[in-house]
Every structure is written in structure tokens, then in C-alpha cells.
Structure 1
Amino acid sequence: MSRFYGPGEARIKELWIDVAAANRSQVKVHGILSNTHRQASRVILSFDFPFYGHHLRQITIATGGFIFMGDVIHRMLTATQYIAPLMANFNPSYSRNSTIKYFDNGTVFVVQWDKVYLHGKEDIGSFTFQAALHSEGRIVFGYKEIPMSVLEISATQHPVKAGLSDAFMLLNPSPDVPESRRRTIYEYHRVELDTSKVTSVSAVEFTPLPTCLQHQSCDVCVTSELTFNCSWCHVLQRCSSGFDRYREEWLSHGCGQESDKRTCEDWAESDHYSPSPNSPFMSFDEDVTTSSLFIGSLTTEDDTKLNQFAGGDGVRNDLPTKTSGAPIHTGTIVGIVLAILLIAAIILAVIYISSHPTSNAALFFIERRPHHWPTMKFRNHTNHTTYSEVDPAGHEKEGFVEAEQC
């Protein structure tokens, strides 16, 4: 549930957290993010933050006015799994006064974008706003300085939005390379705020609703009066609606079918649960390929729009199994031994050439060295906003792993 507070309401002073007045040992100015454009950096929280029922300890702060809440970094960073007080093309490197700081006292984690400017629109003025994540799951967006109407901010180079989003990830067989699998992200819930209400001295407070994941027993799960359709999966000992970050595991263990066949009384009568070898509830090892296909394609006009799935009617579960524990053939062992010998021979050859630069072998490779090394080029997707990730030491990584590849 969300509620806006406009200028003049007393609640705004209570919701805004004055980072400058906080304990200095608990406030950190991120030096890399404060001096770069389109960068993101991971931060560890001092407490588990419940986000859509999932307890998270690691988040990713981005210069573009949002926090990425996903585990797997991908090129559609601005599309799903975010907490965005004001997502836009901010460039903290424009001014020395622009900073991105965060505050953590064990019960609340605050990220503040302080005096940041829009890239290419620096003459408009600076923005100051914050996102506060409270340990009980409450989220507060506070806006101190918003020099222009958010509706007038251009979304050509970067998405402009405010709100929350979460998604689950599935591994699907790659159509191009049958042996490999690719990750596909499905957004299952989004909260979009009316950005016309985002003004100076305003705030938004999100109060989380109960989720199926919080129920720890079968009886409480199936009798839940939540608006979600909660089901109990005995093999996972988990209550779920089937639409959360554990969906891959929910499908692979046949939890949807399990909930239709047995009741809590049936499970209670069984002192011990031992799945049969042909049971769909068995745990799969890493060699098993599981896939869950959605009827209909995931259309994407840009990285801000993804299909939402509110029900499970369009889902089917395909679980091709693979026999494990097969004996290792002699040919496999011979192949491994030959590969090790080949690698050892290459290493010895490199050592010999390095220590004897005037030998015939060394001269042979020098004469045939390439004149120009090929230059690596990265395609610029105009419809995707790319971010570079920086590690805690301040080194920029090569780039985020794309969601479609693994």
C-alpha cells in the first residue's frame, strides 16, 4: 500500500531522514558513484530487508536514482527488480557538490542522491531525494528538491519513473545453442507512482502487505485470507502463490500439482515423506535441464515495459530428466589424460620459448605475429540503458552479464 504526502503535511518531517545530522560513522559517501555517470555499485546491508517477502542482504545502488534489488546483474537493469524514488539520467560527476551517500544504523538503510543534476539539463538545477528501507519492510521515498516537473523530464536516453518492481528468473533452453540455457526474466509485479505528484517537500510511504512466503506451516498457509492464492508445497516446506523469486524451484518440484492432490491432513498422517524414484517431487541434480515455458511472447518495446503475469493458466511445466550416476567409460578417462598432457606440453613450450628467445621456435612465432590486434567493439543498444558496475576497490568491471546469456 502506498500513500503520498504533499507539501505542508506534518508527516513529511517524520519521514525524511536527515543524513547530515546522523552519526558520521554510519554515513558513507560513495566516492565512485559521486564522481561518475551511469555507474552502479553493490552494498551490503546490516540487516535482512524483506522485499516482496524475500529477505535480501545485498543491493545495488545506481547513479540514475534507483536501487537494483536483483541477484543477477543484467543489461535491463532499469526494467525490473528495482526501488526507484526517481529514476532518470542523473550525472553526479557534473558537480563537486553532487554526492550519493548512504546511511545504515541497523534498523533503516537510506540512500540519498544529494544535489545531482540531469545529464544535458544541468541549467535546470539540482535534485535531492532519498529512499529509506526500514527493517520491517516499509519503504519511504523522500523528495527535498525537485526543481522541475518530473513529467517534463525526457526519457529518450534513460527511463523516467518512480515506484517498485520485482521479477523472477527462469532458465530456458537457448534456441540458437541447444546445449546451453539462457536466463529469462519475468516481471510479476510493479507499482508505478504518479510522477506528477513528485514535487519538492513531498514523500511517499509504502507499507508492505502480507505474502504467502511468510507462512511457515501448511494449515496457516491454506487457510490464509490473503488476496493471493497461497498453496503449500510439502517437499519444499514452503507456502507460495507460485509467483515469486522461487518460481523455478516451485515448478521443478511439481509444487503446483502437489497442492491439488493432497491436503494438510494427508501430510500429517505420513510420519516420513520419501519420494519414489518416479515422483515429480524429487530433487534434481545440476545435470538436469528444467524449463518452464510461457504461452505468448515477452514483448519488449523498451526496457521499461515487460509483460506481467497475474495467473498461472498460461504456464506448463516440462521436466526432461537425465539419468545420473552412469559409469565413466575408459574412453572418457583416456580423453582426460590426453587433454592434461596437451596442456602440460603447451605450458612447457611457452616456458622454453620465454627462456630461449633466440631459438628457432621463438623466431618462428615472432616472424608470424599479427601486425594489428582486433579492436573490441560493443554494440550500443539504443533501447536499453547500460550501466557499468564498480567493485568496492573502485575498479570498473567490463560490464553486466546479459540476461539472455549464461
Structure 2
Amino acid sequence: MEPAGYHHPLSPQEDNHSYYVSRVYGPGDARLRGLWVDLATANRSQVKIHGILSNTHRQASRIVLSFDFPFYGHLLRQVTIATGGFIFMGDVIHRMLTATQYVAPLMANFNPSFSRNSTVQYMDNGTAFVVQWDKVYLQGKEEMGSFTFQAALHSTGRIIFGYKEIPVPVLQISATQHPVKAGLSDAFMVLNPSPDVPESRRRTIYEYHRVELDTSKITNLSAVEFTPLPTCLQHQSCEMCMSSELTFNCSWCHILQRCSSGFDRYREEWLSYGCGQKADEKSCEDLAVGEHYSAPPESSSSPLDEDITTSTSTLFIDNLTTEGRGLGSSLHSKQASTPIHTGTIVGIVLAVLLLALIILAAIYINSHPTSTAALFFIERRPHHWPAMKFRNHSNHTTYSEVEANSQEKEGFVEAEQC
């Protein structure tokens, strides 16, 4: 009888996910030893224990990588480590941090603050970035035991999930207070006019691809290796793009000088410039001559609504508004063509008066540090990145982001005693 979760060394389970090929290795696989990164024996100058994440619950911290990491064909230079067993790969921190754009070896309601032995460690050696959730416990279910696992992001785009201690089957972990997932996800963001505030735009996140692992395969001494497959974004010329034999339907946009399937993080720009139009049987010469179309930002809403109905899932971020580059540039161009009139002069005078009041208020606060006004601003000054606490109101899950550099007091990882 072979133990549960065992796979023959010569035949790891393999799946094709269009963007990645995943291989699952069980306890008996010979390659398993080379996939786990032992942080205790690594270069101590490259390994750090994150002081805040190791002593808090439901927090996330942004980290800058020393190399460009290819994720779904996009080159990323920063990621966000979360205490909940995953790495957020997006640029925009939103209240549904756990929903899209993640690398999750085991996303669950872990609370590193429960035990002094629980830590969140990471290492960057220039070609690999490794995050390890070491001896962490589930909030409210500490009797289940501690979990130790890691995720490694390699400069080649390979992603490795390593599992050292998984005390209970993952299927037994409750998802009531926190999502339970294992896998990858990416999404693109578009800016739509807000129905409540016409001048602003609402960010909408669309998940276009997800890899969901079979959590029954996550056991002690197991691993999952993700090997990236070629994407349209890697083609730097029209000829290479049009002759591509990828499973994706690659198209070349001459205006943007970009090859794309239309579903990646640049989708809004792709549609705004009319790159989503049919270009069947067109040569690169025809595209270079014929593509002079540049649609206004508003025109992207119609084709976007048609295409999005086929996407994996959607979630709307109603409480985030932004001016957006397209919107900002159009406003500036309109203002430049308008002659200066009396209203403008009055506005300038009011702005000067407001600036003078602010300067006088600052002088007063500095000279009266114990005044009510001074205490009001001191209590509300920003100490770190804007915080978004994880609260279970309205069934929404949000994380608080902390500053990574200034408060890491734990120092380096000490080698464990044998």
C-alpha cells in the first residue's frame, strides 16, 4: 500500500493551465529535496524575519524585489506579503486583497502573533525571492497544530510551493472567516465612470485567469512547481507576433507596438486605442499603414462590456476612485484651450489666500504644540502606508498594509540548533 499523497518519482502529476504547467510532487519524489529552500542554512544577509508580520494578524507588507519577476507575462518589481499564507501580486491595494492577483501556497486565516515561534521570513538572493510562513497557527484553531510552507518566485518565472508541515488535511480548514485557496490568479483593472460621482472613475477588477490546486494533494513533504508558458506579451515585433503558434490568439497593435491576446493587465489601454478590432488576414505592412485609430477613453466601455461577460469572475471596488491618466490628460487639454477669464483670476486669489492661511496655521501649531489643533494633526499624521484593516463587515475581507522597512527589528534568521 502506498501512503496517501504518494506519487511515483518518475511520474509527477502534471497539468496544463494555459499560462503555466503545474507539477505536483509527493513525499517520495526524488526532485522534492531540490525544491525546498532551507532558509536556516541560507546566506544570513539575504534572509530576514519580518518583524511586523511575524507579530500581527491579517496584515500585509509591500516588498521591492531585486529583479524583475515575470508573472503571467508581466514584469513585476514589487509584491505584497500577507500573513494569510499568500503573496499579493497587484499594484493597487484593494479591500478584496484575497480575491485576485495572488500567489497562494496556502491561503488561510493564519495568525503569526499566536506564538513566539511563528514567523514570516523572506529571502532575496538576486535570482529568487522566497517567502516562508514558519510554524504559523490558524486563528481560533490553534489545536490543529502549526503549519510550515513557502513560496519561491524565480527570475525565470518559475514558482515553487513547498510544504514541510501540514498537520491536518487542507479540506478541514474552515473558510468562514478567511478564504482558503491554493494556486495562482491574475486580473486586469479598468476605470469606469462612477454613477454616484460623474467626475470620478470607479476601479473595477476583472479576474481573467486562475489556477486552483487540488488541496487534497497538499501534504507533509510535498511541493508544486509552476513552469511559465510563453505568452503573447513576450513577442517584441509584429512578425513574431503574427507568426506565433501559441494557444493564445495573439494580435499586433501597431500604435502601442505590443503583441497581446487582449486579456492581460494592459487591456484597458488595448481597447482604448482600438487594438481589439478584428485584424484577420492582415499583414504587418497593412497594420502599419491602417492603424491610425485612437479611440477616446469613453469608447472602451462598449466592447469591454461585451467581452467581460466571458471572464472568470468580477468584483467591483465601489469605494476606490481615481482620476486616471486618460481622464487627467483630457482635462488638461481642455483647460489649455480655454482663455483666462475673471473666474480664473478670482480662483488664483483665493488659492493664494488659502495658502497663506495654511502657512499661518502651521506656524501656530509649531509654536503651540500642546494646543487642540496641534494634537488633532499629530494624532492623524500618516506613519506608514494607508491602513485597510481586515474586518468581516458586509462579508468583505480587507487587509491592513504596513511599512516594511522601518519596523523590522527582528534582524536575520538564526540557524536552528540540531
TM range (shorter): 0.7 to 0.9
CA pair 109-350 structure 1, distance change in 2 beyond 3 A: closer
User: Which secondary structure does the structure 1 equivalent of 2:33 belong to?
Assistant: helix
2:313 is aligned to 306
Residue deviations 1:65-115 (CA, integer Å, cap 9, x gap): 000000000001000000000000000000111011111111111100000
1:400 is aligned to none
Offset at residue 338 of structure 1 (A): 2.9
CA pair 175-260 structure 1, distance change in 2 beyond 3 A: farther
2:393 is aligned to 381
2:61 pairs with 1:41: yes
What letter corresponds to residue 95 of structure 2 in structure 1? R
TM-score using structure 2 length: 0.77
User: Which secondary structure does the structure 1 equivalent of 2:277 belong to?
Assistant: helix
Offset at residue 291 of structure 1 (A): 4.5
CA pair 199-351 structure 1, distance change in 2 beyond 3 A: closer
CA distance in 2, matches of 1:348, 1:391: 29
- Indicate if the aligned counterparts of 2:51 and 2:407 stay in contact, CA closer than 8 A: no
CA distance in 2, matches of 1:348, 1:47: 43
2:248 pairs with 1:236: no
1:73 is aligned to 93
Offset at residue 219 of structure 1 (A): 1.1
2:338 is aligned to 327
1:176 is aligned to 196
Out of 122, 126, 131, which is 2:146 matched to? 126
CA pair 349-43 structure 1, distance change in 2 beyond 3 A: closer
CA distance in 2, matches of 1:8, 1:354: 68
1:106 is aligned to 126
Alignment of 1:21-170 (within 5 A): 21-170=41-190
CA distance in 2, matches of 1:37, 1:355: 36
CA distance in 2, matches of 1:297, 1:20: 46
Residue deviations 1:39-65 (CA, integer Å, cap 9, x gap): 000111111000000000100000000
CA pair 12-342 structure 1, distance change in 2 beyond 3 A: same
CA pair 10-251 structure 1, distance change in 2 beyond 3 A: same
Q: Percent same amino acid among aligned pairs?
A: 69
- Indicate if the aligned counterparts of 1:173 and 1:291 stay in contact, CA closer than 8 A: no
Residue deviations 1:128-159 (CA, integer Å, cap 9, x gap): 00001111101010000000010000000000
TM-score using structure 1 length: 0.79
- Indicate if the aligned counterparts of 1:69 and 1:83 stay in contact, CA closer than 8 A: yes
Which protein has the larger Cα radius of gyration, Structure 1 or Structure 2? Answer: 1
2:300 pairs with 1:280: no
User: Which secondary structure does the structure 1 equivalent of 2:313 belong to?
Assistant: coil
Q: Name which of structure 1's ranges 345-354 and 176-185 shifts more when overlaid on structure 2.
A: 345-354
User: Which secondary structure does the structure 1 equivalent of 2:233 belong to?
Assistant: helix
CA distance in 1, matches of 2:213, 2:172: 15
What letter corresponds to residue 170 of structure 2 in structure 1? V
- Indicate if the aligned counterparts of 2:84 and 2:107 stay in contact, CA closer than 8 A: yes
User: Which secondary structure does the structure 2 equivalent of 1:336 belong to?
Assistant: helix
Offset at residue 223 of structure 1 (A): 1.2
Residue deviations 1:351-373 (CA, integer Å, cap 9, x gap): 8988999xxxxxxx99xxxxxxx
User: Which secondary structure does the structure 2 equivalent of 1:219 belong to?
Assistant: helix
- Indicate if the aligned counterparts of 1:298 and 1:307 stay in contact, CA closer than 8 A: no
Out of 206, 209, 234, which is 1:186 matched to? 206
User: Which secondary structure does the structure 2 equivalent of 1:45 belong to?
Assistant: strand
2:415 is aligned to none
CA distance in 2, matches of 1:353, 1:21: 56
- Indicate if the aligned counterparts of 2:251 and 2:259 stay in contact, CA closer than 8 A: yes
Offset at residue 176 of structure 1 (A): 1.0
Consecutive unaligned residues in structure 2, runs of 5 or more: 1-20, 316-325, 374-388, 409-418
CA distance in 2, matches of 1:23, 1:58: 22
Offset at residue 341 of structure 1 (A): 4.2
What letter corresponds to residue 193 of structure 1 in structure 2? L
User: Which secondary structure does the structure 2 equivalent of 1:255 belong to?
Assistant: coil
CA pair 104-329 structure 1, distance change in 2 beyond 3 A: same
Residue deviations 1:181-209 (CA, integer Å, cap 9, x gap): 01000000000001011111000011111
Consecutive unaligned residues in structure 1, runs of 5 or more: 300-304, 309-318, 358-364, 367-377, 397-406
2:354 is aligned to 343
- Indicate if the aligned counterparts of 1:64 and 1:90 stay in contact, CA closer than 8 A: yes
User: Which secondary structure does the structure 1 equivalent of 2:276 belong to?
Assistant: helix
Offset at residue 265 of structure 1 (A): 2.5
